[in-house]
């Protein structure tokens, strides 16, 4: 939850769920967005993120719980306000840009429906087209636009009506990789310019990390963790979140007699903090938290293991190594600078910063 002070949150999901017959697609999702916040719903296909978005939009009524805007209830199991009366705009995967209308006519459509004066419509359309860098293409038809330009038209059309909440359902999925990367930054730029409260659905963790103030990671219809991108990456709470947000090494170990014993090696339990009782634990270690050295370091604050390079891949800006600790059949993935070169089979020292080892629940 987000502390919004004395003002109600712009958008609030309070214990919402959705069932289709005997199948529960969304379980007890609670989330608050303050005005101007950008929150992504992130997860694999079938996790319930699009169903959640469609409940927010009013296309699906929640089976349980409520959806509120500025303190007023929009949806409950008993009643639901129609989508056109919610003060929201939604952008779909297919853009839904009308082929028989010019860029300017597409963008003006929502304003025209509101019966605004022609001069006002012209002024608003011109201003938003300049912001999305399409001012010189106002008279073109969609068939003459690239995929990225069509996406900008869809964004402009959704934003020109100044919605209270903007909803985006995997809007970049139809673009190629290079254009998709460019549009991530464009979406964030537009958000910073207009400060529209935004809910963004994606399965791409890079999109969510670039665009979002906070990310809600969903799995099997539930929200596993809600946090800012930095916190989510560096302090995941569950194994699913740690594995879905970037790459990581999972280490399963047993704590007993002041030591954590892993597969073929161990570590002083004090390296991972105090207060843990004896038992079995799972730790997440990011590849960039592991440094490889040709000689044993003298730093007692680090967790140091002797190992062997099992595999390496050169990625240009960095090396991707798989290293096997001595006496173990585990392989740890480590990321090293391009200047740190070890041959396969080379003996190395594996140095791990305990502060970057995360205990998962």
Tell me the per-residue pLDDT of 331-361, one tens digit each, with 9 for 90 and over. 999 999 999 999 999 999 999 988 899 999 7
Note the Cα 33 to chain centre separation in Å: 15
Please tell me the CATH code under which domain 11-235 is placed: 3.40.50.300
Compute the distance between CA of residue 25 and CA of residue 198 in angstroms, rounded to an integer: 22
pLDDT of 179 reads 86
Q: Note the pLDDT of residue 213.
A: 98
The C-alpha angle 19, 25, 26, rounded to 5 degrees, equals: 95
Tens-digit pLDDT profile for residues 9-21: 999 999 999 999 9
Is 118 within 8 Å of 87 (Cβ atoms)? Answer: no
Tokens of 58: 């009013």
- pLDDT for 178: 87
Where in 177-325 does DSSP place strands (E)? 197-202, 214-219, 222-227, 249-256, 259-261, 266-268, 279-285, 290-293, 303-314, 318-325
pLDDT at 2 over 50: no
Round to whole Å and give the CA distance between 39 and 349: 41
pLDDT digits (tens, 9 = 90+) for 173-227: 888 888 889 899 999 999 999 999 999 999 999 999 999 999 999 999 999 999 9
The pair of three-digit structure tokens given for residue 71, joined into one six-digit string: 């303190």
What residues does 107 pair with on adjacent strands? none
Q: How open is the CA angle 106-109-112, to the nearest 5 degrees?
A: 145
Domain 249-360 is in which class? mainly beta
* Mean pLDDT of the residues in the chain: 93
- pLDDT level of residue 5 (50, 70, 90 thresholds): low
Reduced to 3 states (helix: H, G, I; strand: E, B; else coil), residue 84 is helix
Query: Which two tokens mark 54?
Result: 């469609």
Cβ neighbours, 10 Å, residue 180? 19
Nearest to 160 by CA among 187, 123, 199, 200: 123
State the pLDDT confidence band at 233, using cuts at 50, 70 and 90. very high
Q: Check residues 269 and 209 and name the one with the higher pLDDT.
A: 209
Q: What is the dihedral of CA 186, 192, 197, 202, to 10 degrees?
A: 30
Q: Tokens at residue 304, please?
A: 């140091």
Beta strand pairing status for 165-169 and 88-91? Answer: parallel
Determine the pLDDT at residue 14.
98
Residue-range domain boundaries for the chain? 11-235, 249-360
Residue 3 has pLDDT above 70, yes or no: no
**pLDDT over threshold 90, residue 40:** yes
Predicted confidence (pLDDT) at residue 281 exceeds the cutoff of 70: yes
pLDDT digits (tens, 9 = 90+) for 93-122: 877 889 999 999 999 999 998 889 999 999
Q: State both tokens at 96.
A: 């839904």
Q: Two tokens at 290?
A: 């592991």
Tens of pLDDT, residue by residue over 122-166, are: 999 999 999 999 999 999 999 999 988 998 999 999 999 999 999
Closest of 196, 125, 122, 189 to residue 157, by C-alpha? 125
Please state, in angstroms and rounded to a whole number, the distance separating the CA atoms of residues 315 and 337.
10
Q: Tell me: the pLDDT tens digits for 52-77?
A: 999 999 999 999 999 999 999 999 99
For residue 159, which of 141, 171, 142 has the smallest C-alpha distance? Answer: 171
- Please report the sign of the dihedral spanned by the C-alpha atoms of residue 251, residue 255, residue 256, residue 260: positive
- If pLDDT is split at 50, 70 and 90, which confidence band does 313 have? very high
């Amino acid at each position: 939850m987000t502390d919004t002070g004395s003002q109600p949150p712009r958008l609030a999901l309070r214990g919402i769920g959705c069932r289709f017959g005997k199948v529960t697609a969304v379980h007890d999702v609670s989330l608050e967005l303050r005005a101007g916040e950008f929150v992504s719903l992130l997860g694999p296909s079938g996790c319930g993120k699009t169903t959640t978005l469609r409940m927010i939009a009013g296309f699906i009524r929640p089976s349980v719980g409520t959806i509120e805007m500025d303190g007023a209830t929009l949806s409950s199991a008993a009643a639901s306000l129609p989508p056109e009366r919610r003060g929201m705009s939604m952008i779909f995967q297919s853009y839904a840009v009308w082929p028989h209308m010019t860029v300017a006519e597409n963008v003006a459509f929502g304003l025209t429906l509101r019966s605004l004066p022609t001069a006002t419509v012209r002024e608003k359309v011109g201003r938003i087209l300049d912001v999305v860098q399409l001012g010189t293409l106002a008279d073109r038809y969609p068939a003459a636009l690239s995929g990225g330009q069509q996406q900008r038209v869809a964004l402009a059309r959704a934003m020109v009506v100044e919605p209270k909440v903007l909803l985006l359902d995997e809007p970049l999925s139809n673009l190629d990789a290079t254009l998709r990367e460019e549009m991530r930054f464009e979406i964030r730029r537009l958000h910073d310019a207009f400060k529209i409260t935004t809910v963004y659905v994606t399965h791409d963790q890079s999109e969510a990390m670039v665009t979002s103030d906070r990310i809600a990671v969903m799995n099997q219809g539930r929200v596993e963790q809600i946090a800012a991108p930095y916190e989510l990456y560096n302090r995941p709470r569950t194994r699913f979140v740690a594995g879905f947000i970037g790459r990581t090494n999972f280490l399963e170990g047993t704590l007993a007699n002041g030591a954590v014993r892993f597969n073929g090696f161990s570590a002083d339990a004090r390296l991972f903090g105090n207060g843990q009782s004896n038992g079995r634990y799972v730790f997440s270690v990011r590849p960039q938290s592991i440094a490889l050295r040709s000689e044993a370091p003298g730093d007692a604050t680090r967790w140091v293991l002797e190992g062997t390079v099992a595999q390496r891949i050169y990625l240009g800006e960095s090396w991707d190594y798989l290293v096997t600790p001595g006496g173990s059949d585990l392989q740890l993935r480590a990321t090293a600078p391009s200047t740190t070169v070890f041959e396969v089979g080379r003996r190395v020292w594996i140095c791990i910063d305990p502060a970057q080892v995360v205990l998962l629940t």
